[in-house]
Structure 1
Amino acid sequence: MSVKKRFIAGAICPRCAAMDRIRAWEQNGVRYRDCVACDFFEQAPIVDEAVTELETRVNREREEQRRDTLQTVKILDPGKR
């Protein structure tokens, strides 16, 4: 069985800085990446844990804005038309 290797659009090689030369594939529970322009090669186990968003300045500010946002209530008079 042949493993399908795919190029990652816009990826930059961490070793030679060539763009669009990184391939990625998965095999036997391991994720692989390599560069066709140099000898860069990387492998990492595939972890099936739920990924949670890291807390950053941006998402922390969004949460604070949601709490601090004032909402205006308009009271309608049913007698006026």
Structure 2
Amino acid sequence: MTEPVKRFIAGALCPRCNTMDVLKAWQADGFQHRECVSCDFTDAISLEAPEELPTRVNQTEVDPKDEIQVVKFIP
């Protein structure tokens, strides 16, 4: 199996040691990996988007025009 291409991230700060230009990043197994060459910090983030949580904003409401009914009045 071929080794993934690892690239340095220009201008990025390590979250642990706050040193600039020491992070390298690569993609493997559906994850975005990053690693600090100075303090050995590592982490991985999934490339798949998580499912959206149901909220008031992303739910569609029933259009009132679709609920029109004919009513007969009996005098």
Fold-level similarity (TM above 0.5)? yes
Query: Normalization by structure 2: what TM-score?
Result: 0.61
Consecutive unaligned residues of structure 1, counting only runs of 5 or more, are 50-81
The C-alpha deviation readout for 1:5-64, integer Å capped at 9, x for no partner, is: 000000000100110000000001111001000021001110257xxxxxxxxxxxxxxx
Count residues with an aligned counterpart. Answer: 49
Moved segments of 4+, more than 4 Å: none
Q: Considering only CA atoms, is the larger Rg found in Structure 1 or Structure 2?
A: 2
Structure that is richer in helix per residue: 1
Aligned residue type for 2:41: F
Measure, in 1, the Cα distance between the counterparts of 2:49 and 2:14: 26
The answer as to 2:26 corresponding to 1:28 is: no
Percent identity between the aligned chains?
45
Query: Pairwise CA RMSD of aligned residues?
Result: 1.3
